[in-house]
Homo-oligomer: A and B are copies of this chain.
Amino acid sequence: MTYATVIALLTDFGLQDGYVGIIKGVIHCINPYLTVIDIAHEIDPQNIAAGRFCLMNAYPFFPNGTVYVAVIDPGVGSRRRGVAIQFPQGYLVGPDNGLFGGVLSLSEAIAAVELTNPNYWRVGDPSSTFHGRDIFASVGAHLASGISLNALGTSISPDSLIKFPLKEVIITANHVHGYIQYIDRFGNLITNILGELVRGHNWSVEIAKLPIKTALTYNEVSREELVSFIGSHGWVEIAVNGGSAQQKLQVNWGDQINIFLG
């Protein structure tokens, strides 16, 4: 372990209640030399799909060895497992509820443990509603400080981890049918259709059966006009130049998106 070991945090705790600050206090008490980086904390409350997406998108951009502590945890206190997962590039720590399914779709896990060893929890008798504070932050800080994965609990098969897979994309002769997997702050609609499926084709997203313009970026269409392109994350995305595609189209997470392949 070197000085610069990073803990990256992603939660739905928001920034109005101090829960994130408490997590950082716990980490800092264990090892004040860790570098803590926030990925996002304003994820929609209890929206595991949103957290899954954001964590997957951020994962490729952090240094090797990063420990990700991610907590969107509607099942806290139930029998859902707390886990730590080792990847070639780093470690994930948090609830086994699908939140890690995106990263698991990008990279194969080397090993995983269920967090059963209370020696690395903040207290032996954790709160039943705030495992982020009492288990995950503490375990993450120990892991980033050199404690081995195996010390943290019982080994489990990475295959047993909950994947929360995206619904399948359906490909027909002239169409690709997918759905909106994420909507960001700008109202951009990110589909579950990978750019690879359409790249090289003469493709266009159809809205109410009419095609919208396909481009490389927002600015190739007029202000307030719809446009689709392969986003910076690699998925087909629908946006409005200078506006919100969500507002313009009055759509929501999970709504179907159809692409015509010319």
- Which residues on A are within 8 Å of B, measured CB to CB? 4, 6, 8, 10, 13-22, 24-26, 28-29, 32-33, 35-46, 54-55, 57-58, 61-63, 66, 74-78, 127-130, 133-134, 184-186, 216-220, 229, 231-232, 237, 241-242
Contact = CB atoms under 8 A, between A and B. Distances in A.
Contacts of A16: 40, 42-44, 184-185
A210 to B, nearest CB: 23
A103 to B, nearest CB: 12
A29 B102 CA distance: 22
B58 A18 contact: yes
A25 B37 contact: yes
A138 to B, nearest CB: 11
A37 B24 contact: yes
Report copies per complex: 3
Given A74-B242, A128-B217, A4 B33 contact: yes
A35 B58 CA distance: 20
A45 B244 CA distance: 10
A77 B218 contact: yes
Contact of A217 (B29, B32, B43, B76): B76
Nearest to A122: B61
A17 B40 contact: yes
Given A26-B61, A232-B130, A242-B46, A75 B219 contact: yes
Contacts of A219: 74-78
A45 B229 contact: no
A218 B78 CA distance: 8
A237 B18 CA distance: 17
Contact of A22 (B15, B29, B58): B58
A4 B17 contact: no
Nearest to A239: B129
